[in-house]
Amino acid sequence: MVKPKMGAQKPKLPELGRVRDRMTFLYLEHAKLKRQDSAIQVVDQRGIVFVPVALVSCLLLGPGVDVTHRAMELIGDSGTAVVWVGEQGVRQYAHGRALNHSSRLLEAQAKLVSNQRSRIMVARKMYQMRFPGQDVSGLTMQQLRGKEGARVRDVYREQSVETQVAWTRRVYDPNNFEAGTPINQALTAAHQALYGLSYSVIVALGASPGLGFVHTGHDLAFVYDFADLYKAQTSIPVAFQVTAKHPDGQNISSITRHAMRDVFKDGKLLSQMVTDLKNLLGVTDVELETDMVHLWDDRLGLQKNGGSVP
């Protein structure tokens, strides 16, 4: 005898909230997540809150979160991505299924990065975001890298003057964090926090963290590309401001990560990242919202799954 399945039925795609209409991200920590009907029950020391998970794009699960199997089942059925992170999303540890069921974003990324002309087009688009009002459409990659290097050096000098933190150059040993100067330690911690957030956005939307346009050959190449768009406005100023307040460098890594957490929380950077990623890869929300599997044919194009080929 087949035992009837309890609870609400799995929602159909048209019943789910559209990507652009959902809450962008929801961060939870030190809580228990259970399922009640079609909502997630979040329980912590302050009480109980019910979350309509189908209206959330991505759940960031921080330290101290316990989640039941039934809750994960609902999260998956609702097309909600899950990313396990550090406190306030500062570090990214692992991720579950992407937000959407469509591979459009990944396919677009793979297509763009596999063609030299389109690859440099996207690279120029990323550099253009850093140089508003300037035309970079005719610059080579070497010229773009040189221009970006000069810009970053200017940002370092400006922050040094503004915060009165002495600056010579960016030096760090990835195998010996403590060997760096306080400002270099703060920059490393700030950049790592930004990389974690960038990774979370990329995987939540179904893109590949490894298919970079400027950086290449690393499983996080696109994370480095994407994070570079925001360093001048986030991680670099935060690092200099923290170092100005804590010149002795005591606990500077932890203090910097908390300062980055506040920037993420108050600056609405997550929402901006989601918009920027879709614009870079030229994919709209409408194209992402599909739940259809096709069969590929070299002559006939896409064929409906389960149908006979004429």
- Which residues are part of a known binding site? 148, 215, 228
Residue 260 neighbours by CB distance under 10 Å: 27
| Among the listed residues 31, 39, 87, 38, the one whose alpha carbon sits nearest the alpha carbon of residue 62 | 87
Residues 6+ apart with CB under 8 A from 151: 130, 131, 232
Q: Which residues pair with 31 in a beta bridge?
A: 65
| 164 neighbors 244 (Cβ within 8 angstroms) | yes
| 15 neighbors 48 (Cβ within 8 angstroms) | no
- The amino acid sitting at 29 is E
Residues annotated in the binding site for Mn(2+), as ranges? Answer: 148, 215, 228
Whole-angstrom CA distances from 277 to 27, 161, 247, 272 are: 20, 33, 36, 9
Cα distance between residue 214 and residue 121, in whole Å: 11
